[in-house]
Amino acid sequence: MSTEKKTPTRRITAPQIAARKGGQPIVSLTSYHAHTAAIVERHCDFILVGDSVGMVMHGMENTTGVTLELMILHGQAVVRGTSRALIVVDMPFGSYEESPQIAFRNATRIMKETQCGAVKLEGGAPMAATIRFLVDRGVPVMGHIGLTPQSTHVMGGFKTQGRDAATWDAHVADAVAVADAGAFAVVVEGVVEPLAVRITEAVPVPTIGIGASAQCDGQILVLEDMLGLNPWVPRFVKVYGDLGPMIERAVEGYAGEVRDRSFPGEAQTYT
Ligand code: KIV
């Protein structure tokens, strides 16, 4: 047996993200897959294994069908593919709303089975007691307010929040409740810019915007959206890479070469 000591890998921690309030913008993307996560972590502070995986990778219409097992499977892949970034895994719909105790059981299952560094759950003031229960028992929690996709059936679709200024106080109160309960950061999704400013000013932890303007303390996008792999591009997404046509060309090239028998060639053949 080797006696050589290995230096333990140091991942970014939830408190380190929390400490970046108001500082250099926090960069984040989603990832569901070991190899893409390895690329993403070279440029990001944290990676979210989001429940958008259900829509992006499994063709679901919304995120309500995502299970704990699915989140764990993708969480494991992303943790295996990375060594430095904080990995945050989404708690899926139905796995935390019923009671703080059930939320704790499921959050600790996610952490034990994936070895991720934090979980994220959706909801404002009504989820504050659950967030407090988890944080007090050793589970770092990222909040998620504004447009909360797991509530799509209640909201009547994926609707930008805060178009009516009369709703702003409630959204700010949600953010404050989540932060007061101990969340180390809050995702603010799909809100108008002046509301994002109000929320960001109101909480002592970083706000991570998605469709919430440049006024947040950090940004997150769904990787496949910014790589051009989603046929429907929401307005808040900027497409940084057009992978769809690249994949199409590669698959077309392969199919043609199989059909004309030029693949496999000599280089790919065991003689
Ligand atoms: O599941 C997800 O991808 C998310 C982001 C939209 C923040 O929660």
Alpha-carbon distance values, 250 to 233, 254, 256, 259 (Å): 23, 6, 10, 14
Give the tens place of pLDDT for each residue, 195-252: 999 999 999 999 999 999 999 999 999 999 999 998 888 999 999 999 999 999 999 9
Give the integer Cα–Cα distance in Å for 4 and 99: 47
- For the CA of 120, the nearest atom of ligand 1: 8
pLDDT of res. 22: 97
User: Is 60 exceeded by the pLDDT of residue 97?
Assistant: yes
Please count the other Cβ atoms lying within 10 Å of the Cβ belonging to residue 4.
Answer: 5
119 lines ligand 1 (CB under 6 A): no
pLDDT of res. 42: 97
CA of 212 to the centre of ligand 1 (A): 13
State the pLDDT confidence band at 5, using cuts at 50, 70 and 90: low
State the pLDDT confidence band at 3, using cuts at 50, 70 and 90: low
Mean pLDDT in residue range 29-53: 98
Cβ atoms of 129 and 135 within 8 Å: the answer is no
Q: Closest Cα partner for 51 from 75, 79, 27, 78?
A: 75
- Which residue's CA is the nearest one to ligand 1's atom 1? 50
Mean per-residue pLDDT of the chain = 96
97 flagged as catalytic: no
Give the tens place of pLDDT for each residue, 139-198: 999 999 999 999 999 999 889 999 999 999 999 999 999 999 999 999 999 999 999 999
CA of 51 to the centre of ligand 1 (A): 6
Radius of gyration of the chain (CA): 20
pLDDT of res. 157: 87
Cβ atoms of 87 and 46 within 8 Å: the answer is yes
CA of 224 to the centre of ligand 1 (A): 12
Residue 114 parent element (H or E) = helix 100-114
Q: Give the mutation target among 36, 49, 51 for probing the ligand 1 site: most ligand atoms within 8 A of CB.
A: 51
pLDDT of res. 1: 56
- Which residue's CA is the nearest one to ligand 1's atom 5? 50
Give the integer Cα–Cα distance in Å for 233 and 225: 7
pLDDT of res. 180: 98
- For the CA of 122, the nearest atom of ligand 1: 8
pLDDT of res. 8: 63
